[in-house]
Structure 1
Amino acid sequence: MEKRIITISREFGSGGRFIGEEVAKKLGIAYYDKNIINEIAEKSGLSPEYVQKNAELSPKKGLFAYAFAGRDITGKSLEDIVYEAQRKVILELADKESCVIIGRNADYILKDRADVLNVFIHGDMPEKIQRIMGLYNVEEKETVKMMADTDKRRMTNYNFYTDQKWGKASNYTLCLNSSQLGYDRCEAIIMECAK
């Protein structure tokens, strides 16, 4: 297989991270998710804990938090610095090897490359609720709140830094419903399209 980059954006609870990890294993290529946080932290000069909280999710306050965030003398906020470092790391990884990259606006960052397959994984509410309740051992009410909060923050971050709409089909090569297709079939479709 010639070099191939697969980006996976996903709704919280859709299993996108699991699907991406399995695709990487089956294709025998690198998998990047939280394991790039230390590199982003190093490039940004910020702590790994700060990067983990802020590299993919917007501040809890929403879109206006970006507009009114504290900025340094260059006009950059801490979120801007994290995004810039994240962008550099993702570009370097894509240049280096075939890989699967989860989230972090990688689809947009790598949009000008011909060797990228951009995937968006979504799911139906009942399946996502069951998955999150099982993974995080929380009640249904808390699960629904976690889903809404996480997806809203992902969407805000994506929309702010890309000037595009998170989850909009035209931003991706493939949009797959993991609840309808199942994880195995999602993996098979991604691998087939990555050939």
Structure 2
Amino acid sequence: MKKNTVITISRQYGSGGRELSQILANKLGIKLYDRQIINLAASHIGIDDMNYEALKRFEEEVPPLPVKFMPFYMFGVSGPQSLNDKIFNAECEVIKKLAKDGSCIILGRCADYVLKNQENVYSFYICANDDFRTNRGKTVYENKSLSDLNEEDLKRGGYYSHYTGHRWGDAANYNLTINTSYISLAQAADLIIEYIEKIQENNK
């Protein structure tokens, strides 16, 4: 795999995407960035008195969007900005710097959109069927119901749509969509590695 290969992972809640990302990072010997991004972004804009959970709420409280809503990215960075928007812009800068610094995996944070069209960036969407997610909700996510998992996904989808103008989970936004219901997370990680290596080999 080439130097400075950046992998972005978006995942349906309950699909095992975070665990898969850690497995992938271990296999490749590269860093995984997730919660660090929002903390770095907050520090960048001078917010030092909020914990992660408080900051995360600013991502989750993006209001539902009307059909004709013009997405955030159309407005650029001019004009007055909410704290949500300031954090998002700071996250974008952090993500771009991390991608420039070396090979890494970036989990969520609209990274597939922020880094789109950049060389050696590969984006993946991880999903699973309801039975798989229901089981993980019980065994991994403190007995969360499928309804709880879907509610979290609605928040993720609203955030993604608000800041990118695209539909979260749309296969067209990613290099590859992987359903973890039918293969192990380790096998899914191997599939990602093989996919990237094939593309890089074809582009030599």
Moved over 4 A (4+): none
Residues 141-195 of structure 1 deviation map (CA, whole Å, 9 limit, x = unaligned): x522321211000000101111111100010001000002221221111111232
User: What does 1:7-86 align with in structure 2 at a 5 Å threshold?
Assistant: 7-46=8-47, 47-49=50-52, 50-54=54-58, 57-59=59-61, 61-63=63-65, 74-86=79-91
Cα displacement (A) at 1:127 = 0.7
Deviation at 1:95, TM superposition (A): 0.3
Q: CA deviation at 1:60?
A: 6.8
Is contact 2:62–2:158 with CA below 8 Å preserved after alignment? no
Task: Report the Cα distance in structure 1 between the residues aligned to 2:65 and 2:145, rounded to whole angstroms.
Answer: 23
2:94 counterpart residue number: 89
8 Å CA contact 1:58, 1:157 repeated in 2: yes
User: Is residue 6–residue 194 contact of structure 1 (8 Å, CA) maintained in 2?
Assistant: no
Q: Is residue 33–residue 105 contact of structure 2 (8 Å, CA) maintained in 1?
A: yes
The answer as to 2:186 corresponding to 1:165 is: no
Q: Which residue of 1 aligns with 2:73?
A: none
Q: Which amino acid aligns with 1:167?
A: G
Amino acid at match of 1:22: I
Taking the aligned partners of 1:175 and 1:110, their CA distance within structure 2 comes to 18
Q: What is the rounded CA distance, in whole Å, between the counterparts of 2:10 and 2:61 in structure 1?
A: 19
Q: Which has the higher helix share?
A: 1
The answer (yes or no) to whether the contact 1:5–1:99 under 8 Å persists in 2 is: yes
The yes-or-no answer on 1:102 pairing with 2:104 is no
Deviation, 1:14, is 0.3
Structure 2 stretches of 5 or more lacking a match?
71-77, 198-204
Instruction: Give the TM-score normalised by structure 1.
Output: 0.87
Return the alpha-carbon distance in structure 2 between the equivalents of residues 188 and 35 of structure 1: 25
> Among the aligned pairs, what percent are the same residue?
33
1:176 and 2:178 matched: yes
Shift of 1:115: 0.7
Partners of 1:17 and 1:99 in 2: CA distance: 14
Cα RMSD, aligned residues only: 2.0
Give the TM-score normalised by structure 2.
0.83
Provide the rounded CA distance (Å) in 2 between the counterparts of 1:128 and 1:27. Answer: 27
Corresponding residue for residue 70 of structure 1: none
Aligned partner of 2:128 among 123, 132, 150: 123
Aligned-partner residue type, residue 4 of structure 1: T
What do the CA deviations read for 1:76-106 (whole angstroms, capped 9, x no partner)?
A: 1111111001101000000001000000000
* 2:86 alignment partner, SS class: helix
CA-to-aligned-CA distance 1:111-150 (integer Å, 9 cap, x gap): 0202111000000011111112112322xxx522321211
Q: How many residues align?
A: 184
